[in-house]
Amino acid sequence: MKILNDINFNEFINDEKLSVVDFYADWCGPCKMIAPILEELEKELSDVNFGKLNVDGSDISFKYGVMSIPTIMVFKKGDVIKTSTGLVSKDELKNIILNK
């Protein structure tokens, strides 16, 4: 999982490959539960970039309208193509990422 911040965020989401961003915070229990699921998916889906952005102290979450965490956003060449809010199972998350 690449650690994202205000400096590297745009470059990350504009990549040719699909990019998955985990909006999280340290105070959020469900975020901690979904983190290892994303790490597993990162190993399985080699064609997808995985990154995480700590919403605490970042304006990016505000820009993308994130008001609930965990929020998982899937980007394709800079555009948001899928958003998922809350704790979901690994299978469900995989389907969201692969747009099934």
Partner 1 sequence: MYDVIIIGAGIAGLTSSIYLKRANKNILVLEGNVYGGQIINSSRVENYPGISKITGYEFANNLYNQVKELGVEIKYEMALRIIDGNIKKIITNNNKYECKSIIIATGVTKRKLGIENKYIGKGVSYCATCDGNFYKGKDVAIVGSGNTALEDALYLSNICSKVYIIIRSSNFKGDEILIDEILSHNNVEVLYNSNVTNLFGDNNLERIEINNDYNIDVDGLFIAIGQVPDNDCFKEIIDIDEKGYIKALEDCKTNKDGIFVAGDCRTKKLRQLVTAASDGAIAATEAIKYVGGKK
Q: Please choose, from the candidates 26, 41, 27, the residue with its C-alpha nearest in 3D space to the C-alpha of residue 84.
A: 41
Q: How far apart are CA 63 and CA 59, in angstroms?
A: 6
Q: Which two tokens stand for residue 80?
A: 């948001």
Q: Report the residue from 1, 2, 15, 25 that binds partner 1 according to the rule CB under 8 A.
A: 25
Tell me which of 4, 13, 31, 97 is the catalytic residue: 31
Q: Which two tokens stand for residue 38?
A: 């994303």
Contact between 65 and partner 1 (CB under 8 A)? Answer: yes
Which CB atom, from 1 or from 87, has the smaller least distance to partner 1? 87
Crossing angle (nearest 10°) for helices 90-97 and 29-44: 60
Query: Is 28 annotated as catalytic?
Result: yes
Which CB atom, from 15 or from 30, has the smaller least distance to partner 1? 30
Query: Residues 6 or more apart from 15 whose CB is under 8 A from it?
Result: 49, 77
Please report how close the Cβ of residue 16 comes to partner 1 at its closest, in angstroms. 28
Contact between 88 and partner 1 (CB under 8 A)? Answer: yes
**Site residues (vs partner 1, CB under 8 A):** 25, 27-34, 37, 55-56, 61, 65-71, 83, 85-91
